Amino acid sequence: MWNNPLTIWHDLPNAASLASVLSQAMQRHVLQALSLQPKVLVGLAGGSTPMAAYADFAQATLPWQQLEFVLIDERFVPITDSQSNEANISQAFANIKTKMGAWHGLYQHAETIEQSAALANEQVKKLDAAMDIVIVGMGADGHIASLFVESADYVSAMEITSTEAVLPIRFEQQEQKIDRLSFTLAELLKAKKMLICISGADKRSVLESSLNGNKPEYAVAQLLKYYANPVEIFWSPA
């Protein structure tokens, strides 16, 4: 059962409203954090739902040099690939990429995904800071970041006592799926504030079931079970 009293649910009428309200929330939380510290680390999920919010956020007037961004999930493809989260988010952030304090993608060029994940894990650990804000999407199967239950690495990536920040997510029995890199559940749980964005009736049903403790097998259910800091949920019907 979800007992976090610090949860705010935003029901928005459409995708445009979701993008605008999520962008405003990102700006608000960034400025709040900057009132207390000189730099802010923002975690970004891939996927289609938050992309319009990122583009809107990039139009804001903010002290970009004080902001650092890190991706929390990525496909094991070069950043020139159309399926790369880094490529898609970079497009949304095109006008601020040269202004921001730092940008940390997860994909690292290497022969194997294991090597790439090890390099990404080392990079994230060197940040030596929890994310001040993290944007989290969710699939209709309840996955968050790239924590897919059918992955061969799901159990290790979901271990809440893990000391790893990034792990490879491999689909050994599903050749049609692209292997991925993902923040572990343990790393996501360190975030100081979490903004979850979803769209569609099916995803709302999954999230509500997870909030009520009815779907413990979902990655999002485990995230919500163990996360103790403020959460805002942004939903639109499409």
Give pLDDT tens digits for 53-111: 999 999 999 999 999 999 999 999 999 999 999 999 999 999 999 999 999 999 999 99
pLDDT computed for residue 28 by the predictor: 98
Q: The whole model's pTM is what?
A: 0.95
In which element (H, E) is residue 226 found?
helix 219-226
pLDDT computed for residue 95 by the predictor: 94
User: 208 burial class (0-12, 13-18, 19+ CB within 10 angstroms)?
Assistant: middle
pLDDT computed for residue 1 by the predictor: 44
pLDDT computed for residue 176 by the predictor: 72
Task: List all residues 6 or more positions away from 41 whose beta carbon is below 8 Å from its beta carbon.
Answer: 68, 69, 70, 127, 129, 130, 131, 132, 133
pLDDT computed for residue 3 by the predictor: 55
The angle subtended at Cα 92 by Cα 86 and Cα 95, nearest 5°, is: 110
Q: What is the CATH number of domain 7-236?
A: 3.40.50.1360
Task: List all residues 6 or more positions away from 129 whose beta carbon is below 8 Å from its beta carbon.
Answer: 41
- What CA–CA distance (Å, rounded) separates 219 from 49? 18
> Hunting for tokens 């970079």 — which residue is that?
90
With a cut of 70, which residues of the chain have pLDDT below it? 1-5, 174-175
E-assigned strand segments in 73-176:
73-75, 102-104, 133-136, 166-169
> Hunting for tokens 């790439």 — which residue is that?
116
pLDDT computed for residue 121 by the predictor: 98
- What CA–CA distance (Å, rounded) separates 145 from 47? 9
